Amino acid sequence: MTIQQFFREFTTDAGYDEGAPDSVFSSLTISDKNAESSGGISDVTDSSEYENTAHSEMCAALDRLLELHRIMEIERQLVERRYKNETIRWLSAIIGGISPPLSASLILTTIEGIADRTLPGGSYGKINLRLHPNTAAALYEKNSQIQSSDRILIEEDGALPEFTIFADWDAGGLAFDASEAIRRLEQLLTQSIATT
């Protein structure tokens, strides 16, 4: 016996008319459809909750990535700043290390030039130099024989600017400031640091 036959017999025994079973089946069908519809809504709800959860997790992951990127950017800037500071220290040390030898080299070159100019026609002339004591010390360090030279007479004068030469000889004289070359070198190095 089918369910439909059962309900026909049931409704007939109960005194319902022939249209009743259709009404009952209709309600059963509607009930089934509602159940199906209800199940569909549940599925949609579950899917929506899943999407919301996935979206939240993705947002959290992106937030973590952005935070990591921010931390890495800060660390990169610190490394660059540390590298730049180390570069400045090294360049400062180089400047401090080469300035006196450079000045002494310039002084010696200038003195050699003066000596060449005091020998016109093979004549022998003496050169008188007035130097700051520190300049004289740098000159002696560069060329120790200059102290024993009977041609170059050195007078140390603490009132003179450091690395300045006043020279005179029979045919003329010369004033030379090597500190200007040092200042220009330091300026160039400072500019190169600023542009890095």
**pLDDT for 78:** 81
Closest residue by Cα to residue 176 from 120, 130, 143: 130
Q: Where are the beta strands (DSSP E) in 11-169?
A: 127-131, 152-156, 164-169
Q: Where are the domains of the chain?
A: 99-194
DSSP string, 63-94: HHHHHHHHHHHHHHHHHHHHHHHHHHHHHHHH
Q: Which tokens belong to 4?
A: 């439909």
Tell me if residue 154 falls in helix, strand or coil.
Answer: strand
pLDDT at 180: 66
Using CA of residue 84, residue 87, residue 89, residue 92, what is the dihedral sign? Answer: negative
What is the model's pLDDT at position 81? Answer: 75
- pTM attached to this predicted model: 0.38
Do 166 and 175 meet the contact criterion of CB atoms below 8 Å apart?
yes
**127-131 and 152-156 beta bridge pairing:** parallel
SS3 percent helix, strand, coil of the chain, rounded to 5, is 75, 10, 15
Q: Per residue of the chain (196 residues), what is the pLDDT tens digit?
A: 554 555 455 445 445 455 444 444 444 444 444 444 444 545 555 667 767 777 777 777 777 777 777 888 888 788 777 766 666 666 566 556 656 666 667 666 766 666 666 555 455 567 788 888 887 887 777 777 766 666 778 889 888 877 777 777 665 666 767 666 666 666 766 666 666 5
CATH code of the domain occupying 99-194: 3.30.2320
Rounded CA separation 134/64 (Å): 62
What is the distance between the alpha carbons of residues 107 and 135, in angstroms, rounded to a whole number?
A: 8
Predicted confidence at residue 171, as pLDDT, reads 58
Neighbours of 132 (CB within 10 A): 19
